[in-house]
Structure 1
Amino acid sequence: MDQRVVEFADSYEFGLDEYQLDGCQALADGGGVLVAAPTGAGKTVIGEFAVFLAVQESRKCFYTTPIKALSNQKYHDLVESYGAERVGLLTGDSSVNPDAQIVVMTTEVLRNMIYANSPTLSNLGYVVMDEVHYLADRFRGAVWEEVILGLDDSVAIVALSATVSNVESFGEWLRTVRGEFSVVVSERRPVPLFQHVMVGDKLLDLFDGVAPTAQELPSERMARVNKELLQVSKSEAFRVRDDSRRPRGRSGRGKSRHGRGSGSFGDATHPRFATRPIRRADMARVLARAKLLPAICFIFSRVGCDAAVGQVMGSGVVLTSRVEARALGEIADRHVAGLSFEDLEALRYEDFRQAFCAGVAAHHAGQLPAFKAIVEEGFVTGALKLVFATETLALGINMPARTVVLEKLVKYNGEAHVDITPGEYTQLTGRAGRRGIDTRGHAVVLWQSGMDPRAVAGLASRRTYPLKSSFAPTYNMAVNLTSILGRSDAREILNQSFAQFQTDKSVVEATRSGRQVTEDLTDARQAIECHLGDFMTYAAIREEISQLENSSAKERRAQWKSDVESAMRRLVPGDVIHVPRQGWCVVLAASNKEAGAQVISADHTVLRIRPHDLVAVPEPVTRIRVPRSFSLSDRKSRRNLLESMSDRLVSVDPEEPQPQPNQTDEEQARRISELRKELRAHPCHECEDRETHAVAAAKVIRLEREVARQHAKLAGRTNSLAFQFDAVCGVLSELGYLDGDELTDAGRMLRRIYNELDLVAAECVRRDVFHGLDAPQLAAVLSTLLYESRPSRDAPTPRMPDADSERAQSELRQVWLEVGRLERQHRLDRGREPDIGFAEVAWRWASGQELAKVLREGQLSAGDFVRWVRQVIDFAGQLANAVGPGDLRRTCREVVNSMRRGVVDADIDED
C-alpha cells in the first residue's frame, strides 16, 4: 500500500472500506479511476484523496459536480479541511478565489474553460467528476463526455458514479480514450436496507427473512415474499371480484380504469378501493411510532408535495420537540434574513416556517432555492422529520434519511404513466440509512389497490441501472472543437465518444440482417427475364418518375404544413380568419403548444380547428375585441361578438383565401416529361407481361434499397456521430460560421453562446433582431429562447409585453423557421420551438415591478420564477461577452443588473 494512502486513511476517524483503499491506491499508482458504489457508501473519499495528492504535489485539483447546490456543499467541506485561502468556487453565479489550488465548480464551467483554453487549466493534475452517471442526462449529459475527451492526457480523472450495471463497459471506454484507468466497484451498502409495505396503519415486511438489500452483498437468489402480504393481495382480489358481480347503475361506477403502468404496482385511480391507501397524516404518525423518522417521502409531483405538507399540517401533526422547533426556526430565519417583509409575504414564508418548525416540509424544483437550502440544512441536523420530495432529490444533494417512503411505484414521464424501473427504485431508496447514525435503513412502499407484492419484491431485489450516453454534436460544440482541433480532428474526437462506443456493439446484429437481405436480392433478380430487353433499366425509369412526383408533392406538403402550424401558433383571441365550409370565424382561444384554435362562425357554430382542417395559411384579416365577460352559453354575447365581426369585415372587405396551388416546379416537370418519352421508347414497354415483370422488378428495387440502407446503417453506426457533425458543419458553412476549416467572426461569436437554440440566437444577433430594444424588452425576447412551458389547461394565452418586443420575437421566430428549413435539408432535427410563456414575467421583473405582483401575474411558483430569471441573466451575460462592444452589449448588461435584485439576488448570494 502506498504510504500516501496510509497517511490519508489515518486522517479519518473511521477505517476506510476495502474498495475505498483500492480506489485511492489506483490513483496513487498514477492512473485514473472509475468508482461505482451505492448512494451513501462513501465514494467521495476517493475524490478527497485526489485533493490530498494535488496538495502534496503542489498541483491543482478541480472538483466538479452536476448541480450548483452540490458544488456549494463540497466547497464548504473542503474549506473546513484546507482553509478558505486554498479553496475556490466557480458556479456561473459565484466566483470565489478562482485561482486557488483547489477549485470546486459545476461541470459546465470546466467544459467552458477547456473550450476557451483558459490559463486556469495550467498545472492541473486531478479532476474529480462527482455523479459522473449524469452523462446519461438527456439535456446536459454531453458536457461530461466533452470534459473527459477534452482534458489533457496528463490530468488524472476520478469518476464517481452510482452503481451502474454496465460499469465494465464504461470503464473500457475510459481506458480507450484516457489510457490507464482502473475500475473499482462496490455493491455493499454500508447501512443495510430493510424493505416494508405499509398496508393501512400496519407496517409489514416485504420479504420473509432477510431482505436482499439487508445483506452485506446482493444475493444471487431472490428472497421469498412475506406470506402475510400475499394474503392481503389475495383477500383484496376476492373482495373486488365479489364487488364486480353486483349490479351497476347507468353511471358505470365500479368499472376498473387501469392503464397506468403495468398494473402490477396498483392503480390509485381505481374508483372503488379494496384496500384504501393510508392518509399522509396517518402515515407520519405510523412512522413516528415505529421510530422510522427522519424520512423522505417521494411523490412524483410538485403540487402533490406541497399538498402533502398542507394535509399533514391540517391534521395537527407536530413531529418536533420545542428545542428542535426553535433550532429549525433559527435556521429558516437566517437563510431569509436578506429578504424584505413584502417579499416574504409574497412567498408565504410564515406558512412554510410553521410547517418547517413542526418538522414537515416539501423539497422540489418549484421551490425558492433559499427554501430548499433551509430544508436541506434542517434535515441534516435531524430536527426536520418528514420531507415530501420529487425524485430530483435523489440526485446529488446529501440528504440521507433513516427511512425512504414511496407513495406510488408509477410515475408520469411526460407522455404516459409508467412503472418506475429497478434502477430508479435503487436510486430513490439509496437515501435510506445514515452512515454513522443508523444501524439499518428502511424502504417503505405504500400499499395501492391491485398491487402485486411479488412485482414489488422483484423491483426491490434487482439493482440494474444501465448507463447510456446522450452525447450528440451541437453547433456550439462544433465551432469550439473546430477552433481547438481543426475539423478533421474534431470529427475524430466525436468517434471516440461513449455514445459511439456503445453504438458499435450492435454492428454484428446489423451485419447478420444485411446478409439475409442480400440473399433475398439474389433470388429476386433471377425471377426477372424479358425477351424484349433489359427490364431493370425500364423499371429504373418508372421508379425515377414515381420518386420525382412523390418527392415534389411531399416537400410541398411538408412546407405548407409548417407554414400553417406557425401561423396557427401566432393566432390570438379576436383574430378573424377564414375556415373552409364555415366562412369567416372569430378565434376564441388558441394553443401555442398544439397549433390549434377554438373558433365561432357567423352561424354560431363553435368548433376546434387543426392544421389539417385548413386549405390555406390562416392569416387574420382583422381583429376584434373579445370581452372578458364573453360567455359561449350566452346567446346575446355570441350575437354581439358576431355582429362586431360582420361590421369589421364590411370595413376591410377581405377576399376569401385560395387553396394552396398544387404545382410541380418547372425543372421537375420537364424531367418527368423527358422520362415518360424515354419510357415509351423502351423495348420492354411493348411486352405483354410488362406489369407482371414490373411487380418482380419493384421487389428487386426494394431489396436493393434495403441492402444500401443496411450498408449505410453499418457505416452510420461506426461513424454516426461524425456524420451528424458533418451535417452540423454543413449548416454552419451555409450560414457563414465556418469557412472551410476556419471559423469566421460569426463562428467566434457562436463559441461563447451556450444555449439549446444557440444558432438561432447567433443569427438574431447578426440580423439585428435585438436592435432598439430596451433592457426589459430584451429580457422578454431572450426568455423565448430559454423557457419551456409546463403543460397546463388553465394557463392563460401568453403574449409579448409590447409592440417592440412582439416585433423582435416575430423576427426571431422567422429566423427559427429559416434555420429549421436548413436543418431539414441537412437531415438534422429542428431545434425546439421558441416559447413566449415567460416573456411578460421577464419584462415585468426587469422593469422593476415588485415580487408579489410578478408572481401573481405570471402564475409561477417562486422557485420556477427564480430559476428562469437566473437563466435569462446567465444568457444575457453570455451575449454581452459574445457580441463585442456596442449598444447590444450595454443593453445585455442592463438586463443582468436590472434582474439581479431582491429574491433573485438573495438566492445568488445564498449560493
Structure 2
Amino acid sequence: MISEYQGLKLDKFQIEAIEAINNGNSVILSAPTGTGKTLVADYLVEKSILEDKRVIYTAPIKALSNQKFKDFSKQFGSDRVGIMTGDVVINPNALLLLMTTEIFRNQVITNDEELKHVSFVIFDEIHWLNDEERGTVWEESIILAPLHIKVLGLSATIANAEELARWIEVIRNDNVVLIEEHKRIVPLEYYYYSKETGYIGYDALLDFYYEKLKTGDRSSSEPLFKPTSHIDLVKSIEKQFLPALYFVFSRKQCADKAHELATLKNYLNPEQSIKVKNAFLEQFGDEDSWSPSTRRLFRACRKGIAYHHAGLLPLQKSLVEDLFLSKTVSVLYCTETFSVGINYPVKAVCFDSLNKYDGRSFRPLANHEFFQMSGRAGRRGIDDRGYSFAIVDLNYFDKEPPIKFDINKLEPLTSQFKLSYNTVLNLLATLSQEQIEIYFRKSFAAHSYVVVAEKAEAEIRTLSEQATKSQEFLCEHVGSYKCPINYYPKHKELERLRKAYNKLEPRRKNKIYGRQMHRKIRKWEKVLKVAPKKCSKKQNEHCQIHSTEWYKLQDKINGFKNQLSSLPDYNTFNNEFLRKKFQLEQMGYIEDGVINPRGEFARHVYVQEILVTELVYSDIINQLDDDQLAALISCIDYENKRNDYYHKADLIDFKPVKVILNYVQSICGAEAVRFDHRVAVITYFWSKGSPLSDIQQLCNLDEGDIIAVFRRAIDLLRQMREATTDPLLRERFSITMKKLDRDEASILEL
C-alpha cells in the first residue's frame, strides 16, 4: 500500500483514493478546498504516463488548464503533455492532454476517434455540474464519454456526493468508489469585521450590535456605527495574517482598492521591489513601451500589493500569479474566479462583502461559494490555522443581517441539464431513437427525480397513513362545509360581504368591483345552501383538535406532491428534444429523419449554432471582406455590460443580418440568439492592424475584455473552419483567424 508520494506522507483519504485507482475503479473524491485532492490526480497522471496510457485532464477555466499544463510540462517534458482550450492548441496527440470541459464535451458528443485511446478522464472541480450556465457540459461529458474510460472526479465538499457517485456508477455501468474527507488539514477560523468591533465571532457581533442599539445616540444624523473600509481590515490583520486574498465582487473595485492601499502601505523592501521591476521588464520589455494599464499594475505590485481579474491582459494575469507564488505579493485583491482550482494558498482570506451580483441581481453568497473561497486560507506545513474575515456594515444590520455560514448545510448538487440544438443534432447523428431515450434517462436530473421521488412517495405514504389514523377521530364531513367548524366562519364572512355589497350605491354595483362582489356572494350562497351537521360543543372541540392535525398532514402531503410535479423527469427532456427536432425540420436541417449538410455544419458549431449556420448558408459572408467578416463573427454570442461604450461606425450593413436574426428568433425563440453589433467596430480595426492602444480609444472595455472578444472570434472561426466541407470557405476562415491572431491576442498553433 502506498503511503508517500512526491516526498509527502499521504493522508488516509488520499491513500484510499489511490488504492481505488490502482484497483481499476472510477473515483469521486470530495474534500474541502486545500486538503490535497490534486495530489491524487497528479498520481494518476504519472501512473498513466509511466504505463504509456493516455489521460485527459479537464478543468472549468482556462487559467487552471494553463497552470496544470505548465506544471506537468516541467515534470514530464513538453513532448508528453498537450493542451486544448478555446485559446490554445498544443500537441493534441500527447499522452496527457489538458483541456476545458467544453472541449472534452465537444469530443464525446461528436464521437471523436481519438477517445478510443484514452484510459482515464479527470474532472477537476466536478461540482461545476451545479453551475447554471455551464453545468450541462459536465453532465453531457459524463453521460457520453465512452464506457471504457474511467472517471476521476475531484470535488469540493458537497451535500450529496453519494448521489453523484451512484449516478455515475449506474449510467456508466462502472464501479465508482466514493472517498469523502470532511476534516481540513489546516483548521479554519471564521470572523466578521467592523471598525468598532475588530474581528469577532458571529454571536459576539450580535451582542455588540444590540448593546449599541440600547446605549447609542440614535437621534444624531450621523450613522450609529462607524463605516468600515478595506483599509481598516487590512491594517488590522497585516501584522499576523498576511499573505491574504481579498475577494471583491467588482473588477473596478479590485484595482481601485489595490491602488488605495498602495498609497498607504509598502510590504516590500528595496531588493524585493527591484525583483518585481525586473519581472515586469522581462514580461513587457523596456519600460517606455509599457501600456498605461501595465504601468498602473506595476505601481501596486512594487509595494507587494496586486489585483487579478478577467479585465487584465493574459500576460498581466500570468505575471501577477507568478509574483504571488514567489511571495512578493502580500495582499491580492481578486474576483471569485481566483478561487477556482488554482493552488495559491494564503494565511487569510478577506471578503469585502457577503453579497454578489450573479448576472441578474445581488444575492447573498451561497454556503458552498463562501467555503470554496475561504478554503484558500491556511497553508499546509506553514500555518497552524487559516483565517477568514468578512466585512459587515452594522448600519444595515436590521435590513440585511450578516449570514452565518454553516459547513453542515451545504447546498446539494442539482442538475442544470439543458438541451441545445447542437446536442439534438449530435444525438440524431450518433444514436438510435432507443439510445436517445436512454440518454435522457441517464441525465442527473432524471436520476435525481427518481431519488427524490422515492423519498417523496415514501413520505406521502407515511403521512397518508397518519392522516387516515387522524381521520378515525373525525366525522366524514371533515374538510367540507358540511362540518360546522368550516361552515360558520365562512357563513360569517358571507354575511359581511352581503352587508358591504348592500351599502354600495346602485351605480357602484355596476362597476367591476361591484360585479365581482356579487359573483362571489352568489358562489358562496350556493356552497353554503345546505346547513351543516348539528354537533354538540364537545364534538366541535374534539373535531377542532384532530382536524388541525389532519389539515397539517394534508398540507405536508400536498407539499410533497407539488415537489414531485415541479421536478424535471425523463418526459420533460424528451418533449424538449421533440420540440427542437421539429424546429430543425422546419428550418431544413433535417429532412425525412436524415441530417442534411446544413445540419452537419451546425452539429460541429458549439456557439449559437443555428445563427452561425444561417449566416454561413446565406449570401451575407460573400458580401464582406475579411475584416468585416471578423467583425461580424465577434458580434455573435457577445453580451455587453450595461455601461459598455463603443464608437459608432457604419462598417457593415447589418440589415440582412437582422433579417436572419428575426428569422431564427421567430422559430427558435429569443434565447437562441445572442448578438450585439456594437462590438464589431473594435474587431474590424484590430483585424485591419490597429494597435491595442488605438482600439482602446474606440470603447471603454478593459484590455483583457477586448482581447477576450478577439479570442472568442478566433475560437468560433476555428469551429466554423472545422465544420465546413467547402475548401474555399475553410481557407477564408483561416485567413480571417490569422488577421486576428497577433500581438496581445496571439494564440498558439491555429
Q: Cα offset for 1:236?
A: 3.3
| Cα pair 2:664 2:673 within 8 Å, conserved | no
Contact 1:75 1:104 in 2 (8 A): yes
| Residue number in structure 1 paired with 2:106 | 112
For 1:485, the equivalent position in structure 2 comes to: 431
- SS of residue matched to 2:120: strand
> Distance between the aligned counterparts of 1:39 and 1:712, measured in 2?
34
Q: Is the 1:424–1:465 contact (alpha carbons within 8 Å) kept by the matching residues of 2?
A: no
Rounded to whole Å, the distance in 2 between the matches of 1:387 and 1:910 is: 33
User: Alignment partner for residue 418 of structure 1, among 352, 363, 383?
Assistant: 363
Instruction: Report how far residue 485 of structure 1 moved.
Output: 1.5
**Match of 1:232?**
208
Deviations 1:110-165 (A, max 9, x none): 22222343332232111111111112222222221121111221111000011111
Identify the residue that residue 538 of structure 2 maps to in structure 1: none
Mapped to 1, the partners of 2:748 and 2:615 lie a distance apart of 32
Question: Cα 1:103–1:461, aligned 2, differ >3 Å: closer, same or farther?
Answer: closer
Tell me the equivalent position of 2:742: 901
| Deviation sequence 1:273-318 (CA, Å, 0-9, x none) | 32323343343332222x2111111111111111101211233x11
- The 3 A distance-change label for structure 1 pair 884 and 340 is farther
Q: Does 1:767 align with 2:618?
A: yes
Q: 2:260 aligns with which of 284, 294, 311?
A: 311
Tell me the distance in 1 between the aligned counterparts of 2:315 and 2:226: 37
Partners of 2:196 and 2:743 in 1: CA distance: 45
Rounded Cα–Cα distance in structure 2 between residues aligned with 1:716 and 1:350 = 52
Aligned 8 A contact 2:630 2:687 in 1? yes
Kindly indicate whether the alpha-carbon contact (under 8 Å) linking 2:724 and 2:730 is maintained by their aligned counterparts in 1.
yes
Contact conserved, 2:440 with 2:570, CA < 8 A, in 1? no
Q: What does residue 789 of structure 1 align with? A: 640
Question: What one-letter code is carried by the residue in structure 1 that aligns with 2:680?
Answer: A
Give TM-score, length-normalised by structure 1.
Answer: 0.67
DSSP-derived class of the 2:650 partner: coil
Aligned to 1:320: 268
Aligned residues of 2:104 and 2:141 also touching (Cα < 8 A): yes
Equivalent in the alignment of 2:282: 334
Q: Which residue of 1 aligns with 2:321?
A: 376
Residue aligned with 1:100, SS: coil
Superposed, 1:422-571 pairs within 5 Å as 422-450=367-395, 456=402, 458-459=404-405, 462=408, 464-505=410-451, 507=453
Question: How much has 1:462 moved relative to structure 2?
Answer: 4.5
CA contact (8 A) 2:603 2:609 kept: no
The alpha-carbon deviation at position 35 of structure 1 amounts to 0.6
Amino acid corresponding to residue 580 of structure 2 in structure 1: V
Partner of 1:135: 129
User: 2:507 is matched with which residue?
Assistant: none
Query: Which residue among 814, 817, 829 is the counterpart of 2:662?
Result: 817
Counterpart for residue 91 of structure 1: 85
Q: Structure 1 residue 854: deviation in Å?
A: 0.7
1:169 & 1:138 partners in 2: Cα distance? Answer: 19
Q: Among 27, 32, 41, which residue is 2:26 paired with?
A: 32
Inter-partner Cα distance in structure 1 for 2:446 and 2:674 = 28
Separation (CA, whole Å) in 1 of partners of 2:321 and 2:355: 26
TM-score relative to the length of structure 2: 0.81
Instruction: Select 1:853's aligned residue among 694, 698, 702.
Output: 694
Note closer, same or farther for the CA distance 1:236–1:306 as it changes in structure 2 (3 Å cut): farther
Equivalent-residue separation in structure 1 for 2:353 and 2:567 (angstroms)? 44
Change (3 A) 1:23 1:416: same
Contact 1:128–1:157 at 8 Å: present in 2 too? yes
8 Å contact from structure 2 (residues 59, 124) kept in 1: yes
Query: 1:717-756 counterparts in 2 under 5 A?
Result: 717-755=569-607
Please say if 1:868 is aligned against 2:709: yes
**Rounded Cα–Cα distance in structure 1 between residues aligned with 2:387 and 2:618:** 59
Match of 1:278 in 2: 228
Hey, what's the Cα distance between the residues in 2 that align with 1:363 and 1:835? 27
| C-alpha displacement of 1:166 | 1.4
Structure 1 residue 451 displacement after superposition: 6.5
> Which amino acid counterpart does residue 83 of structure 2 have in structure 1?
L
Spell out, residue by residue over 1:424-463, the C-alpha distance to the aligned partner (whole angstroms, 9 max, x if none). Answer: 2111211111222222111112231246699657315545
CA distance in 2, matches of 1:503, 1:197: 39
Q: Does 1:881 align with 2:722?
A: yes
**Number of corresponding residues:** 659
**One-letter amino acid of the counterpart of residue 588, structure 2:** G
By how many angstroms is 1:396 displaced? 2.2
Q: Which amino acid aligns with 1:719?
A: N
Match of 1:591 in 2: none
Q: Secondary structure of 1:379's partner? A: helix
Kept after mapping to 1: 8 A contact 2:127/2:156: yes
**1:799–1:836 contact (8 Å) kept in structure 2:** no
Shift of 1:375: 1.3
The answer on whether the counterparts of 1:406 and 1:445 sit within 8 Å (CA) in structure 2 is: yes
Offset at 1:201? 7.4
Deviation, 1:884, is 2.9
Aligned-residue offset at 1:840: 1.1
Letter in 1 for 2:278: E
Q: CA deviation at 1:505?
A: 4.4
Letter in 2 for 1:319: Y
Structure 1 residues 451 and 435: CA distance shift in structure 2, 3 A: farther
CA 1:52–1:868: 2 relative to 1, 3 Å:
same
1:299 aligns with 2:248: yes
SS at match of 1:458: coil
Cα pair 2:86 2:712 within 8 Å, conserved: no
With over 3 angstroms needed to count, the CA separation of the structure-2 counterparts of 1:455 and 1:434, relative to structure 1, is farther
Distance in 1, matches of 2:564 and 2:234, equals 59
Partners of 1:859 and 1:323 in 2: CA distance: 37
Please give the residue correspondences for 1:396-407 in structure 2 after superposition, counting only pairs within 5 Å: 396-407=341-352
Query: What letter matches 1:93 in structure 2?
Result: D
Distance 1:502 1:340, change over 3 A: farther
> Given that residues 361 and 386 in structure 1 are in contact (C-alpha distance below 8 angstroms), is that contact kept between their aligned partners in structure 2?
yes
| Cα pair distance change 1:727/1:798, threshold 3 Å | farther
**Superposed displacement of residue 393, structure 1:** 1.4
* Contact 2:646-2:700 within 8 A present in 1 as well: no
Q: Distance in 1 between matches of 2:564 and 2:592?
A: 25
CA displacement, residues 69-96 of structure 1 (integer Å, 9 cap, x when unaligned): 2112112222333233322222233232
Say whether the 8 Å CA contact 2:610–2:672 is kept in structure 1.
Answer: no
Q: What displacement does 1:68 show? A: 1.6
Residue identity in the other structure for 1:185: E
Which range moved further: 418-427 or 156-165?
418-427
Give yes or no for contact 1:360–1:387 (8 Å, CA) kept in 2: yes
User: What is the Cα-based RMSD across aligned positions, in Å?
Assistant: 3.3
SS of the aligned residue for 2:8 comes to coil
CA displacement 1:578-608 (0-9 Å, x = unmatched): xxxxxxxxxxxxxxxxxxxxxxxxxxxxxxx
Q: How many Å apart are 1:181 and its aligned residue?
A: 0.6
**What's 2:35 paired with?**
41
For 1:340 and 1:776, the matched residues in 2 are separated by 32
Letter of the structure 1 residue corresponding to residue 356 of structure 2? K
> Structure 1 runs of 4+ off > 6 angstroms?
510-516, 709-712
The match for 2:650 is 801
Instruction: Give the alignment partner of residue 830 of structure 1, picking from 671, 686, 693.
Output: 671
Residue 665 of structure 2 is aligned to residue 844 of structure 1:
no
Deviation at 1:231, TM superposition (A): 4.2
Mapped partners of 2:122, 2:277: distance in 1: 36
Checking the alignment, whether the CA contact within 8 Å between 2:55 and 2:96 is kept in structure 1 is yes
Question: Hey, what's the Cα distance between the residues in 2 that align with 1:282 and 1:455?
Answer: 20
> What is the CA-CA distance between 1:743 and the residue it aligns to?
1.6
Residue 121 of structure 2 contacts residue 150 of structure 2 at CA under 8 Å; is this kept in 1?
yes
User: Deviations 1:42-64 (Å, cap 9, x if unpaired)?
Assistant: 11122123223323443211111
